Structure 1
Amino acid sequence: MNKIILGLALLVSMVATSQENDSIPKVPEEPELEASLDIEKDTVQNFKKIKLDGVAAVVGDYVILDSDIEKTYIDLKSQGVSTEDITKCSLLGKLMEDRLYAHQAVQDSLLVSDDEVNANIDRQLQSFVSQIGSMEKLLKFYRKENEQELREDLFEINKLRMLSEKMQASVVSDIEITPEEVRQFFNKIPKDERPVFGAELEISQIVKIPKATEEEKQKVIDKLNTIKADIQENDASFKIKAILYSEDEGSKANGGFYAINKNTAFVKEFMDVAYRLQEGEISEPFETEYGYHIMLVEKVRGQERDIRHIIISPEVPESAKEAAKSELDSIRVKVNNGDFTFAEAALNFSDEKETKFDGGVLRNPQDFSARFELTKMDPTLYNQVRNLKDNEISYPIMEEDPRGGIKYKIYKITNRYDEHVADFAQDYLKIQELAKREKQFNAIKEWMDIHIEDTYISVNEEKRDCDFANDWVKE
């Protein structure tokens, strides 16, 4: 059963839809072709055959070379992954899975646009450069002559990965789990093999967001209207304007581009505008909690939209920042004096809509429960609350929002749970997630069996003796 739990844990990364790895991967180097040849004019002497590279397998339209397996193995080792239990056969099996997903995604018209891939590459490169220091160092690290050459390599890697992820997400998107299925899953785990959950905290917060003056807001609206007029009247490029003026670091390098659908986790005001506009239409300036935007709907594909936006945040004066901090200090004192509870204060004074109506309770983005396991907490949040005692309220903490602006917060630890063996009632949400992953795992296995049978697959004779997890070898 421990192996089952481990397998289910690994499934998390296998079926996730939109989360990118921001640690520097090792981009595959160009294969070096080596041969020992001794050639004279019109005469060949001492010719020695050496295999330059071979085809390990073919899956649909994708070819997997022996060098692809070697590169993947080297990449894992160089990134500190233990390769003790990883074989070349298991790596080939994983590469074949990825390509089967990507092949079937194309067959099912689950396409990924070039703009989506390039937007992802932009985010990767920004992260890589911030880690390694400069683009020049990054190019040297990857042994590339220029940025374009690196982008071309990353494009192929990302395109295949994004197609694969899109297909995997499609396979499990409609899977739900009933309470009875959760109960059956839990009961079939032997008591001595039930998972152990680490120490956890429940945390509440009250947030104050300093506000800009009406004058500063109008300056931003006027600037956005000027940008819009230049685009519409002078045929200026929205993409270039976004690169020049947008404050969204996640999209400005790619001209403010996002590919979205109805499930994209953007704020309601942003999504409402995106689905109200017609293709080619530019919005009036509109406000979200992050600032003021204008938006262009570039392409409509059913429930999907390709959009570009420009966001500019009005400048917040120092007096507003001090006022927000002072208000939180006052709230903290009044809660400690018993004038009202922390939950009542959150409801009446917090500026964060996502938590104020729930008494300020923070939700874990992993499972949306109110608990945060200490060893898995976001490092920033952990550092902010680690020294708090039970029912102690922190002093105001300033936090920069990555999407723009600043916030001030006070925190309170409302509950603390010690490490313990899984309990059905106490840990229902975690057990529910494990049961759902097992059901997803089984659905993926069934999908694999069907599409392996229906897809052209050829495995090199030398690899046919591999003990694959799936039945890749066809008689």
Structure 2
Amino acid sequence: MPSKMRSMRFISKKGLMLFAVILLTVLNASAQEIIKDTVPAKKSSNKRQKIDGVVATVGDYLILDSDIDKNFIELQSQGNSIKDITRCQMLGMLMEDRLYAHQAVQDSIIVTDSEINSIMDEKISAMLEQTGGTIDKLVKFYKKNSEEEFRTYFFDILRMGKLTSEMRKKIVEKVEVTPEEVRNFFKKIPQAELPTFGEEVEVSQIVINPVVSQEEKQKVIDKLNEFKKDIQEGGSSFFSKAVLYSQDPGSKSNGGYYKMNRKTPFIKEFKDVAFGLDEGQISAPFETPYGYHIIYIEKIRGQEVDLRHILLQPKITEESMRDAKEEITNIRKKILAGEISFADAARSSSDEKETKTNGGALINPRTLDTKFDLTKMDPSLYAQISDLKAGEISAPFEDEDQSGKKMYKIVMVTNKVPEHVADYSKDYLKIKDLALKEKQIKEIAKWTEEKIKETYIKINGEYRNCVFANNWLKK
């Protein structure tokens, strides 16, 4: 769920600088200002001054000299060294980003206004929270005359960034590697250059959720029905209710908004309700493993819906938490006494559906296998297993999920794999991923070469002397 907003009466100079860094950081390298085709002529002056001129054009997009400066600031804000990056190289990166965005428009890739507005609300909320500032100070810092003008500026930046990312996805979406290609990729790596994989662990867990009383459940149901009545009869805003009260961290800051279709990976209970509603309709309160929800259908576009929802979670009493801790403590005692294996205890007693059928085994969401790189593991999980040897079980500990729902857990390290040089049979999935990335890079390079030939591209002034990785000058 979203972090709590901090309110401050002032913003320091350091905070203002942070605005700039955050704005650049929340956008990817492609997120630079989109300039209209008509550029007002500068008034002549006897004084010499640096003009922020157009240095390149790619399709419908212009690149200013200041855009190059912005990208250098972005890289520095992310802790990257820029001493070996030339302005020519940076311009090449910006041109590539604009080529993606331009071609996305040509290919009719749809990026809706509602989608960008939702992203913008979330990004602005994050900037304001991290700097402790206000929207007026953000507008002033970026030298805009109004919040509307700033949002228009920000909208164009986010839209181009979204077009760029969607185009990249489209280029590589059908790229796959066969087992034979993976094998050939591995064979061609010289023995001395084989990658080294860090220490890995396999982990299983048992989760016990505290029992929620019927009384507490009814309280949130009544509250959601109250929200629904206020919106339908009292004219209240669903957006505002979600921002103020929803306990979903993924959507609270943007008014509970989600865009989804039937393939979107939401839980079944949620999708069943969402696709059973008409446009403009608000559901009755319903339960999922995350708590109780109401859904408002904002827009239906064929098989896709724009919706907003509010999530409330029943309160967990201290007594329920004590009972959950006692239950998991007794489970641990039985495992240690040899009365039952950890895997069998998980299958029979764990409240976590995703892992109980696998004997409690956790799946790494990055690799989709059971191994976790210790250097990339979630810090909260690392804290529980870092001192455990293979076969050892942690003491019971309290934890909570992303929605803030509390529970008790025990975890066991089922296997430890020491740091080692890549082995084809043991590390097949990692090697496959490397082979796939190499093939995707080649596909992007091929696509870029083709599109440069058929796209209007112009480079101005001294930048025509640059040596680019891509054939931007069409020589």
User: Please, what TM-score do these two structures have when normalized by structure 1?
Assistant: 0.85
**In the alignment, which residue of structure 2 is the partner of 1:61?**
60
Deviation at 1:347, TM superposition (A): 1.0
**In the alignment, which residue of structure 1 is the partner of 2:83?**
84
Task: Determine the C-alpha separation between the residues in 1 that align with 2:285 and 2:176.
Answer: 40
Is 2:106 the partner of 1:107? yes
Task: Determine the C-alpha separation between the residues in 2 that align with 1:61 and 1:160.
Answer: 11
Deviation at 1:57, TM superposition (A): 0.9
Task: Determine the C-alpha separation between the residues in 2 that align with 1:70 and 1:169.
Answer: 27
In the TM superposition, 1:31-430 aligns within 5 A as 47-135=46-134, 139=138, 148=147, 151-430=151-430
Deviation at 1:235, TM superposition (A): 4.7
Task: Determine the C-alpha separation between the residues in 2 that align with 1:178 and 1:459.
Answer: 41
CA contact (8 A) 2:139 2:145 kept: no
**In the alignment, which residue of structure 2 is the partner of 1:24?**
22
Letter in 2 for 1:58: T
SS at match of 1:410: strand
Deviation at 1:318, TM superposition (A): 1.4
**In the alignment, which residue of structure 1 is the partner of 2:17?**
none
C-alpha change, 1:394 and 1:189, in structure 2 (3 Å) is same
Task: Determine the C-alpha separation between the residues in 1 that align with 2:394 and 2:136.
Answer: 42
CA contact (8 A) 2:363 2:369 kept: yes
Deviation at 1:26, TM superposition (A): 4.1
C-alpha change, 1:136 and 1:278, in structure 2 (3 Å) is closer
CA contact (8 A) 2:210 2:324 kept: yes
Letter in 2 for 1:295: I
1:28-69, CA deviations, whole angstroms, 9 ceiling, x for partnerless residues? 89x9xxx9998xxxxxxxx35444122111112111011111
**In the alignment, which residue of structure 2 is the partner of 1:443?**
443
Deviates more, 1:228-237 or 1:211-220: 228-237
C-alpha change, 1:403 and 1:458, in structure 2 (3 Å) is same
SS at match of 1:70: helix
Deviation at 1:316, TM superposition (A): 1.6
Deviates more, 1:443-452 or 1:422-431: 443-452
Letter in 1 for 2:335: V
SS at match of 1:321: helix
Task: Determine the C-alpha separation between the residues in 1 that align with 2:314 and 2:54.
Answer: 57
Letter in 1 for 2:362: L
C-alpha change, 1:195 and 1:303, in structure 2 (3 Å) is farther
Deviates more, 1:443-452 or 1:314-323: 443-452
Task: Determine the C-alpha separation between the residues in 2 that align with 1:400 and 1:92.
Answer: 45
Q: Which runs of 5+ in 1 are unaligned?
A: 1-22, 39-46
Deviation at 1:211, TM superposition (A): 2.7
Task: Determine the C-alpha separation between the residues in 2 that align with 1:380 and 1:108.
Answer: 43
SS at match of 1:358: coil
Deviation at 1:73, TM superposition (A): 1.5
Deviates more, 1:108-117 or 1:191-200: 108-117
Deviation at 1:92, TM superposition (A): 0.9
Task: Determine the C-alpha separation between the residues in 1 that align with 2:291 and 2:185.
Answer: 46
1:436-462, CA deviations, whole angstroms, 9 ceiling, x for partnerless residues? 111211221222222222222212242
Letter in 1 for 2:250: G
Q: Which runs of 5+ in 2 are unaligned?
A: 1-20, 26-31, 36-41
CA contact (8 A) 1:112 1:162 kept: yes
Deviation at 1:415, TM superposition (A): 0.7
Task: Determine the C-alpha separation between the residues in 1 that align with 2:215 and 2:187.
Answer: 63
Task: Determine the C-alpha separation between the residues in 2 that align with 1:357 and 1:66.
Answer: 57
Task: Determine the C-alpha separation between the residues in 2 that align with 1:141 and 1:318.
Answer: 48
Deviation at 1:259, TM superposition (A): 2.0
Task: Determine the C-alpha separation between the residues in 1 that align with 2:265 and 2:315.
Answer: 26
Deviation at 1:134, TM superposition (A): 4.5
Deviation at 1:329, TM superposition (A): 0.7
Task: Determine the C-alpha separation between the residues in 2 that align with 1:276 and 1:439.
Answer: 42
Deviation at 1:423, TM superposition (A): 0.4
Task: Determine the C-alpha separation between the residues in 2 that align with 1:188 and 1:142.
Answer: 53
Deviates more, 1:323-332 or 1:302-311: 302-311
Task: Determine the C-alpha separation between the residues in 1 that align with 2:181 and 2:140.
Answer: 49
Task: Determine the C-alpha separation between the residues in 2 that align with 1:225 and 1:36.
Answer: 62
1:343-401, CA deviations, whole angstroms, 9 ceiling, x for partnerless residues? 11111111111111111111111111111111111222212221222211111221222
CA RMSD of aligned residues (A): 2.9
SS at match of 1:464: helix
SS at match of 2:465: coil
Deviation at 1:139, TM superposition (A): 4.0
Deviation at 1:196, TM superposition (A): 0.6
Task: Determine the C-alpha separation between the residues in 2 that align with 1:236 and 1:214.
Answer: 28
Letter in 1 for 2:76: K
**In the alignment, which residue of structure 1 is the partner of 2:11?**
none
User: Please, what TM-score do these two structures have when normalized by structure 2?
Assistant: 0.85
**In the alignment, which residue of structure 1 is the partner of 2:18?**
none
C-alpha change, 1:109 and 1:302, in structure 2 (3 Å) is farther
Deviates more, 1:150-159 or 1:385-394: 150-159
C-alpha change, 1:169 and 1:261, in structure 2 (3 Å) is farther
**In the alignment, which residue of structure 1 is the partner of 2:28?**
none
Task: Determine the C-alpha separation between the residues in 1 that align with 2:435 and 2:159.
Answer: 31
Task: Determine the C-alpha separation between the residues in 2 that align with 1:265 and 1:303.
Answer: 15
Deviation at 1:142, TM superposition (A): 5.4
C-alpha change, 1:84 and 1:56, in structure 2 (3 Å) is same
Deviation at 1:257, TM superposition (A): 0.9
CA contact (8 A) 1:119 1:251 kept: no
1:206-258, CA deviations, whole angstroms, 9 ceiling, x for partnerless residues? 11122311122122223222322343345543223323332223322322111
